[in-house]
Amino acid sequence: MQTVQVERPMELGTQTQTELLNNLLVQVERLWDIALGWVSSPAAWSQFALLVVAYLAALYAARRLRGPLSRLLTPPVEQMDPLSRTRRFVLIFVPLLLPLLAYVFTGIGESVTRSLFGSGAVIAFGKRVFLFLAARILVREILDDPLMKLLGRYVLIPVAALYALGLLEPAMAKLDQTVVPLGNLSFSLLFALRFLVVGGAIFWLGRWSNDQSVNFIKQQREMRPAMRELTAKAVEIGIFGIAFLLVMNIMGISLTSLAVLGGVIGVGLGFGLQKIASNFISGVILLLEGQATVGDYVELDGGEAGTIIKMTARATILETFDGRWIVVPNEDFITTRVVNFSDQGSANRYEAPFSVSYDTDINRVPAIIEAVVATHPGVLAKPFPPDCELRGFGDSGVDFAVEFWVEGIDDGKNKFMSDVLFLIWNALKENGIEIPYPHRVVELSGSIETRQA
């Protein structure tokens, strides 16, 4: 019994290898017979001649058309309208001009040979070769998306090669017969291959459509930034939802069979993914309310502070003054206190404290300081002009503070406080007003004896 169990897999493996080898030899022998028939046939030689003529004509036409087509499809750099983006998209397919023209001219030659000789196998083979060359150029020179390039290299080019050799139908039949069991489910290799190709193409098209839609939405300046972000997210969800439904429909998968899977995902969201769901809903609320959006400088109750540079479905990304990024869950913006310093460009008030000597005529100080601070290009006259106020009488001098409004915040790019303090210093020096500093008086009690050596 043990000997039979050990040797049976070996026998099956050997039998499978023998069948594959025999099939390969049969196909090679068939191709060899076809090649010999072509070599000895006058009609085949005429078709070879037509193939050469079609290729040379395509080469000449491609060289004459490439320049004018490139100039026609290349818009000015500054133009970003939909028509210009479409022209740029079509421009990337110009390298396909030569093989496609050769395919068209060869098709014309095939119709001629079939009408004269009643056959066109050679020239039909040439058409398939030109189609294979087009697929090769598409993958190597045009596709830049990593997923599409991977599918093209390992799926499209092999399929085009099999099609050119006339082996595509046998290969597809073999793949369709090879069934892969997966638990209670089973599917053929042909189904898996079709699913990868169709799904990859549809989702690539969905991503391209989403990029174009998002760019168009972000150019609508009359919309609030938060509304633009929300609309872009809604369009993204809609496009990829439609792409998913298309893939399921094309592959013949019943959507009702996904109901159980949807229920499992719902249970998972309820138990294990509460935080993710909460952050997603919080992000939608933030985009709807618009109380914090991209470009605002905010400070959270936990001490995180920075400029909002990106808002995703799960988190908001803040950039600090020193260039670091802080990823803050959206839920924190809803459940904690948030201070918005900029509110998308609103004015902010700052105050710069300073002191003058007790010997100063303090009635002159407010007018001098208000006038010099108003000369700063970043200081606003509205909602209020600079206002210098007396704050108290300190230990070393009289304490003042000037309040001023600016557009934005005092950060690494804007140095409002530093600039205003420089202006105050120079104005006080020019008007002979002393800026005090602490003095200490030391009193000694008792006599000091001088000891002589």
Q: What is the pLDDT of residues 90-111, one digit of tens each?
A: 888 888 888 888 888 887 777 7
Report the alpha-carbon distance of residue 308 to residue 289 in Å, rounded.
16
More confident residue, 9 or 213: 213
More confident residue, 429 or 31: 429
Q: Are 283 and 312 in contact (CB under 8 A)?
A: yes
- Within 13 Å and on the Cβ side, how many CA atoms surround 188? 12
Long-range CB contacts (within 8 A, 24+) of 106-113:
106/50, 106/51, 106/54, 106/55, 106/130, 108/54, 109/47, 109/50, 109/51, 109/53, 109/54, 112/50, 113/43, 113/46, 113/47, 113/50
pLDDT of 9 reads 42
More confident residue, 229 or 260: 229
Burial class (CB in 10 A: 0-12, 13-18, 19+), 173: exposed
More confident residue, 280 or 397: 397
Q: pLDDT tens digits for 197-244?
A: 777 777 777 777 777 777 777 777 676 666 666 677 777 777 777 777
Mean pLDDT confidence for 170-182 = 75
**348-371 burial by CB neighbour count: b if 16+ within 10 A, else e?**
beeebebbbeeebeeeebbebbbe
Return the closest-CA partner of residue 324 out of 307, 301, 342. 307
Average per-residue pLDDT for the chain = 75
The percentage of residues in the chain with a pLDDT greater than 70, rounded to a whole number, is 72
pLDDT of 101 reads 86
- 224's enclosing H/E stretch is none
Return the closest-CA partner of residue 340 out of 401, 263, 384, 286. 286
More confident residue, 277 or 17: 277
pLDDT of 141 reads 84
pLDDT of 58 reads 84
User: pLDDT grade, residue 20 (50/70/90)?
Assistant: low
Helices (H) and strands (E) in the chain, counts: 15, 10
Tell me which of 30-44, 74-88, 297-311 is least confident: 30-44
Q: pLDDT tens digits for 335-374?
A: 778 777 765 556 778 888 988 888 888 888 888 888 888 8
Mean pLDDT confidence for 131-148 = 83
pLDDT of 337 reads 81
